[in-house]
Amino acid sequence: MNPLISPSLLSADFTNLKADIDMINRSEADWLHCDVMDGTFVPNISFGFPVIKAVKSICNKPLDVHLMIVHPEQYIDETARAGAMMMCVHQEAVVHLNRVVHQIHDAGMKAGVALNPSTPVCMLENVIEDVDMVLLMSVNPGFGGQRFIEGTLDKVARLRKLINDSGSRALIEVDGGVNDVTAPKLVAAGADVLVSGSYIFKASDPLATIHGLKHTTTAPER
């Protein structure tokens, strides 16, 4: 089974965004990853819902929206209206996570939960059967182009065991430092979805780069 590929919009050329979206539409990418940052939960500010709505109007791929913000529960309906397929919130930013996961489902979206590098997977034991996806950050969130944290590989394996033992059907997504070297290791550890930003958008041939991520890494049978 090949991994799903979700290129990160944060690394696109915002002076020529339509061209990059057209490339994504022609590519073998499965989703488009959209990082919303507020400058409080993470030390950077990215883009908001007007950009996501504009992207949705020209993008043929499902939108994988990752909210790196405080109080993401206040923006569930707006995220749905913007056209998100997946709404992913941080465990560290939500007090009543079970409630928020169900509110996301009620709004018509799939629900994802993200973990920062220092947050252990055991924090999800009581919600793992309810979520559609877990996003593991393999860099400290806030900026693209960072070096991959090698300990993420063991974390993916621990999360895979938690999912299998619980009977959950959650996908494992990894974001940060994903390239031709780290992708095979992540898939071998149990990752289902690979987010990649600068490695794709800064490549001389982004279409070939996406193809490589999609087809040169195959997930182990499980």
Instruction: Please give the positions annotated as active site.
Output: 35, 175
Q: Cα(113)–Cα(54) distance, rounded to whole angstroms?
A: 25
118-123, long-range: CB < 8 A, 24+ apart: 119/91, 119/92, 121/155, 121/158, 121/159, 121/162, 122/162, 123/91
Q: Cα(52)–Cα(186) distance, rounded to whole angstroms?
A: 28
Close Cβ partners of 66 (under 8 Å, ≥ 6 residues apart):
33, 34, 35, 36, 88, 112, 114, 135, 175
Q: Cα(150)–Cα(138) distance, rounded to whole angstroms?
A: 8
Tell me phi and psi for residue 46, to 5 degrees.
-110, -100
Angle at 36 between CA 193 and CA 154, to 5 degrees: 35
What is the C-alpha R_g of the chain?
16
